[in-house]
Amino acid sequence: MHNPKLTSIAKALLAAGVISTAATATTAMADEARPKPEGGIAEVIITAQKIAQPASKTPLALSVLSGEDLKNAGTVDPRALAESLPGVEIAQESGMLQVSIRGVTSLDMTEKGDPSAAFHVDGAYVPRYEAQAAAFFDLDRIEVLRGPQGTLYGRNATAGAINLITNKPTRKLEGKVGVELGNYGTRRYDAVLNVPLGDTWAMRAALNGNKHDTYLLPGPNTIPLESQDDKSARVHLLGKFTPTTSLLLTAERNEIGGGAASPVPITNFFTGTLVGTLPFTAPGRGNHIQNPVYVDRGTDTQRTAAWPFKQDAGSHRDNRADSLRGEFKTSLGATELTYQLAQMKLKLDQLNNGVYFGFPFTTLNVGDSKAISHELRLNSTGDGPLRWVVGAYKFDEDIFRRAAYTTYVTAPFGSFNIVLPFLATLNNKSQAVFGQATYALRPDTRLTVGVRHTKDRKSGYDPLSGEAAVPPATTSSKAYAEDVRFSNTSFKVGVDHDLRANLMLYANVSTGYKAGGFNAEADTGVYRPETLRSYEAGLKGRFFENNMQLSANVFHYNYKDQQLTVTTCRTNDPATCHSFTTNAANSTVNGVEIEGKLRVGQDGMLRANWAATDAKFKRYIVSPTIDFSGQKLDRAPTSTIGLGYTHKFSLESGGEIAATIGTRHSTSYYISDPTENIRYRQPSYHKSDASIGYESAAGNWNVQLFVKNIEDMVKIESRVPGSFFISDPRTYGIRAAYNF
């Protein structure tokens, strides 16, 4: 199951790619003097640099997945994005996304933590992990930027940025309804209605629902395990007052429900000596395995919640994210003005399952947050040698969170609950000014310079912070009150040169910054910002009359004051256990990435990507006896390769059949607990998907059969003490949609 060699599917796709490339090249050269038919791979216009420009002319490492790409691949979940992207790993912990780009990630999933990859929907920053997966419907495209985006994005973008661009209202009356049925009780639906409203306004409304039963086997558990029951709605209202003046208003609601987060025991995947246990730990159970050895026990065992959860816990997930967004654009001569306003309110109500020291425990997480952001930009629109964008950004977020970790312990002297309560009130503020300019030194050579200055402030107070106050006192001995401030100036300097009309070479130096913060207990203190400097060179081109598209890059990172989050216990008392973040390491990351598309004849499309990454701690002294210096970063496989092929068959009736197959191979990676000097190694793996669909001649209805994860491979994605959260097993089903 975890053979590091390529699967037969991968070999076949690779061979097809080599043969197709050679055939296309030979045909193109032989027919050089003859006129070519129109067509080729369509150019995608993106807004990754805050202005509209072709993806192939954007001098940075990025990947673009169009709505058609997502449809052919059957991608309805953000974690599936990684299968199509080089250098990107997307996992989940407790129902929240963990995005790692080129080995750079953030593991602080609490209310005090910030992601390292900035997540945006239509340009609006999504600050909370719980809400990032919810807007994944009715999308025009997804733009994934790899590397620090400190100039134009700034906030928490040391790893990169993910931009979801939704479909906007048009001047056409149209709509769509779709449904999906699959194994594990999967029931998905989506609906879209686009309505022009007079000569100025148009509306687009979209609904989406995702529901499936748990992927886990219950073992001794009778309570509901982790499942999905999400419902989403979005309404766009677009007014076009003149050809250059518009107002887009958006309201969105995402209800995130289902069974609560439920991990599986570490012993499902590894053997070894259980450590980190209490004197009265449940027999054969613990928080860690010393010198762990991976054992492939099969997917049924891997997916079994073999340790009992708290059976009367009432575990659940009932969260809600409400967003309001507005974007105003107008032309001021040769300058375009854009103002974006975004508000997100998030309400949390979930009780997660878990096992700690071998005993069942629950995690209560209740509260709300409100984030408001403003961005004002001016950018040039003329045809002169200078193109520029300048702007100002302001972000303000208030968070209230009530949490409690409750462990039910059975000891020789009796049974009792250990409760760690939290009652945090937090505020995050960020302000920035930024600018970036590109000047054509000559018709084929351009110089880009960018700078951003950011000021961040984080403040918070928790009267309990893991320890209940003893009456008549209202605060505990662990209570904290913090108010910290940070500032940073990030920059970018780059040059790009046209080797010929459709072939560009670029190089740049850029920096990224992620604000520091504070931990949940007074004695764990404050941590500093992390910074990253990137040196990158790349090549982008379109060949053979635009029938082949290729991009490649090499990069080197100097990653300083890296923020690492660990969970540890100061004593054998669970009440002393906590999660905290420190500036633990400096790292270096070197890599190569290649990504391309090849049109095979008139009806085929081959896609391929490859990434090789060498990500290591340069210096990481965990303790006087534990030294991680020179070891690989977590979630950073040495190599990944993705291959996919779509072929369309035209029928005499005018209908069309589209068949898609894809596979991804990854070398091994680590998930670690540095405080215990333990590294869990996920072996190399491969994972393949396939689909076949029919679209009617009029294009008004379609149906698709699909299977994902053909190998039924389950991998470890994230770790909490004693347990792993894991990837999805094999899923399959049927989708159908009607367009009108």
**Which tokens go with 180?**
């999906």
Which DSSP letter does residue 266 get? G
Q: Which of 664, 612, 668 lies closest to 643 in space, CA to CA? A: 664
SS3 state at 109:
coil
What is the rounded average pLDDT for all residues in the chain? 88
> Coil, strand, or helix at residue 39?
coil
According to the model, what pLDDT value does residue 14 have? Answer: 45
Q: What is the pLDDT of residue 597?
A: 95
Which stretches of the chain score pLDDT less than 50? 1-37
- Could you tell me if residue 2 is inside a domain? no
**In the prediction, which pLDDT does 18 show?**
39
The model carries a pTM of 0.89
DSSP type of residue 35:
P
Q: For residue range 499-555, what is the model confidence (pLDDT) as tens digits?
A: 999 999 999 999 999 999 998 877 778 999 999 999 999 999 999 999 999 999 999
Question: What is residue 24's predicted lDDT score, i.e. its pLDDT?
Answer: 40
Contact by Cβ (8 Å): 4, 667: yes
Residue 466's pLDDT is what?
86
Q: Which residues, other chains included, contact 515 with Cβ-Cβ below 8 Å and sequence gap of 6+?
A: 114, 156, 430, 454, 456, 458, 486, 488, 529
Distance in angstroms (rounded) separating the CA atoms of residues 315 and 454: 41
- Residue 721 has a pLDDT of 84
Which pLDDT score is estimated for 399? 96
Whether residue 14 lies inside any domain: the answer is yes
In single-letter form, the type of residue at position 580 comes to: F
| CB-CB neighbours of 171 under 10 Å | 10
Please name which of 156, 166, 146, 126 lies closest in space to residue 58, comparing C-alpha atoms. 146
Of 509, 603, 504, the C-alpha closest to 552 is: 504
What pLDDT is stored for residue 568 in this prediction? 64
Assess if residue 341 is contained within a domain. Answer: yes
pLDDT at 49: 84
User: Which two structure tokens, joined as six digits, stand for 633?
Assistant: 């970063």
132 in a structural domain: yes
Contacts of 190 (CB under 8 A, 6+ apart): 137, 138, 176, 177, 178, 206, 207, 208, 209, 737
What size, in residues, is the chain? Answer: 740
Q: What are phi and psi of 479, to 5 degrees?
A: -55, 145
- Reported in sequence order, the residue ranges of 213-315 that DSSP labels E, i.e. its strands, are 228-242, 245-258, 264-265, 270-275, 288-294
* Count of domains for the chain: 1
- What's the confidence (pLDDT) of residue 9? 44
- pLDDT score for 21: 40
Pairing assessment for the beta strands 53-54 and 186-197 based on DSSP bridges: unpaired
The pLDDT value recorded for residue 30 is 37
Is 709 contained in some domain? yes
Inside any domain, residue 198: yes
Supply the CATH number for residue 32's domain.
Answer: 2.40.170.20
For 686, the domain range is 8-739
Is 1 contained in some domain? no
Structural domain contains residue 3 = no
**Phi and psi based region of residue 331 (left: phi greater than 0; alpha: psi -120 to 50; beta: remaining):** beta
Q: Tokens 């593991």 correspond to what residue?
A: 107
**Per-residue pLDDT tens digits for 628-686:** 999 999 999 999 999 999 999 999 999 999 999 999 999 999 999 888 889 999 999 99
